[in-house]
Chains A and B, each alone.
Chain A
Amino acid sequence: MFDNLPLLMNGFAIAISPYNIMLMMVGVFLGILVGVLPGLGAPNGVTLLMPLTFGMNPVSAIILLTSMYWGALYGGSTTSILFNIPGEPSSVATTFDGHPMAKAGRATEALTTAFMSSGFGALFGVVVVTILSSWATQFALKFSPVEYFTVFMLAFGSFVAFGGGSPIKTVVSLGLGLAWAGIGMDTVSGSMRLTFGFNELSRGINLLVVVIGTYGIAELCQTMQEPAGTMEPVATKLSAAGVLRAALAMPRYWIALLRSGCIGLWMGITPGGPTAATFMSYGVGRRFSKAGARFGTGEPEGLVSSETADQAAGSAAMLPMLALGLPSSATAAVLLGGLMIWGLTPGPSLFAERPDFVWGLIASMYVSNVVCVIMALTTVPVFAAVLRAPFTITGPIIVIVCLVGAWTVGSNATDLWMVLVFGAVGYFMSRLNYPVAPLVLAMVLGDRTEDAFRQSMILAKGSIWVFWSNPLAGTIITAALLCFALPGITALWRLARR
């Protein structure tokens, strides 16, 4: 594990330049902004900024975009605590204890505890990413198309088994993503597929356009359905003494911090994602902690549980993304799309060929999370003011930002119409509890899943048993199949017990 130390130091040398620090601050600021505003979450925010990074050096670009991701995770907590509005799906669990604390006049304590926990979670995640990355690449180097296909299936399967909600709806969501990914040129034979004679479709459907529609426009529709009028925060000013007191109290929650960090790590490395991590960590905390009975009434430990897991999962998600090209959250999926646009191929070879990129990113994660904690604390009054602006003004401006973003993706008017179509699909999906994240994941992995399958079949001359031809692939594919079968098994089990 100490082999990585010099590499990390090199990474710091790359990441800590005045230009990159400035990008971090810009990214974190924009991230908090999108995290705070409804209709602009982390996946959508990163998507909107992506086209502007095409001309940048990839290291700076990824620093800007990942900083934005971290910032959005922090911004989501601010609104959860002050307004009881989760700015991000992953900060829903933060509202349970954060808002009651703020209402009881402990807003400073709640915000500080949340940000410090986030900072700890992120640091925990990055340290593990640093330690495991060499091992993960060694592991990933053993992968042939056969193993890749099994890992992709496991990613899809884990959404079906552990994503929460209806498994069948998750399957539809995955299917839609895979089908959309299949539109356009077939990478193996070169023929145009599923275009139905529309020339516009021959370029394929752009992931960024789908994300802007399904996350941006769809979320705005939901917000507009029941306009809340003006929102009033419970507090907008933080006292420096209160911040210090809350920060000094953090070591008291060391068990919760470690427990939630581990849960976050696990959910970040396996495709569970930050949202699932927060709920799991909160649930485990309520069940096993001594303070568990007070969860939900304004207990700081509840806040620590969800926030630490959120950030730990967010940072840990970078490991499978870089080493295997396997994103475990919607935002990681968008970042992965960016990697490919910058001409980088995620996977073990990335560590060998572009150590500057990989280690620059990992080092930047240490620095940008410190930037995050400081900026999140100091900008609370600014963002509270932003949220108090009437939504009849911010809403239309967000619409315009989304459309401008969609235009910059490919300078194509068809994309603007597509955003509306995907907005409608996304609106109905979220209102009917179809999960959207699996769709985004399936779109990113669609072509690679198909290629891996076809290459495996060519290697094995069409024998499906190739997926059980070695212990690694066999274990993963069996686990994947079990994941797909799990909801069915539990349903039958319940029927039998009745």
Chain B
Amino acid sequence: MEQEKRPFFSQFAIEAAFALFTCAFGALIIKGAMEFNVGWGDIGPEAGYFPFRIGIVIVLASLVNLTLAVLRRGTLAAEVFLTRKQTRNVAAFVIPVVALVGVTVLLGLYVAMALYLLFTVGFVGRHRFWVTIVIAVGAPMILFVLFEYVFITPLLKGPLEHWLGWY
């Protein structure tokens, strides 16, 4: 039980990492803004003026957050951001979603969502076989009718739909 309560990621690690991330993002914005004139042109502030200053604000605020995190390191390092079990739960959710997007680009949204539902409802959720089939086949079909015919907003299609003659 003790093992379960121990942080796999401590609050401090993530707090500091996210502050570094926003800081790096701010620096990126500054770099992007520097491609333009960040000062004053003939007709007032130039294209880089506003982003350049926003970038500076992000960098400075991120550094303050980082400093605050370091100052409170003692307490934050003991706090749990995610336990090992929670990390596994989040990963079990996130990885199939990433795979869903990857497969969508290749096979289209309808086929990808059927595969995704098959995996998450049947394999992860351990629901009965027929429940899984009804959901994995039913949901894409309902959405197909809704989006292709009712809303007339076609969704991304892949090889299967092309083979069946739907574009």
Contacts and interface: CB of A to CB of B under 8 A. Distances in A.
Partners in one complex: yes
A392 B120 contact: yes
B41 to A, nearest CB: 9
Contact of B29 (A55, A194, A462): A194
A176 B58 contact: yes
B70 interface: no
A196 B32 contact: yes
Given A221-B90, A420-B101, A392 B36 contact: no
Contact of B86 (A182, A226, A404): A226
Nearest to B63: A168
A182 B22 contact: no
Which interface class (under 10, 10 to 19, 20 to 34, 35 or more) fits A?
A: 35 or more
A248 interface: no
A189 B58 contact: no
B22 A172 contact: yes
A224 B58 contact: no
A403 B139 contact: no
B44 A392 contact: no
Interface in A163-222: 166, 168-169, 171-172, 175-176, 178-179, 182, 186, 188-189, 191, 193-196, 217, 220-221
Given A392-B127, A404-B143, A458-B44, A168 B61 contact: yes
Interface string A408-439: 10010100110110000000110110100000
Given A226-B89, A392-B121, A400-B117, A172 B58 contact: yes
Contact of B65 (A168, A186, A196): A168
A224 B89 contact: yes
Contacts of B86: 225-226
A157 B68 CA distance: 21
A431 B81 contact: yes
A52 interface: yes
Contacts of B78: none
A395 B139 CA distance: 13
12 contacts: A175-B58, A175-B61, A179-B25, A217-B97, A221-B94, A392-B125, A396-B116, A396-B117, A403-B109, A408-B155, A453-B45, A458-B44
* Nearest 5 CB-CB pairings of A with B: A392-B125, A224-B93, A175-B58, A458-B44, A194-B32
Interface of B: 14-15, 18, 22, 25-26, 28-29, 32-33, 35-36, 40, 43-51, 54-55, 57-58, 61-62, 64-65, 68, 81-82, 86, 89-90, 92-94, 97-98, 100-101, 104-105, 109, 113, 116-117, 120-121, 124-127, 131, 135, 139, 143, 147, 151-156
Given A396-B117, A407-B109, A411-B156, 6 more contacts: A172-B62, A220-B93, A411-B154, A417-B101, A419-B101, A429-B18
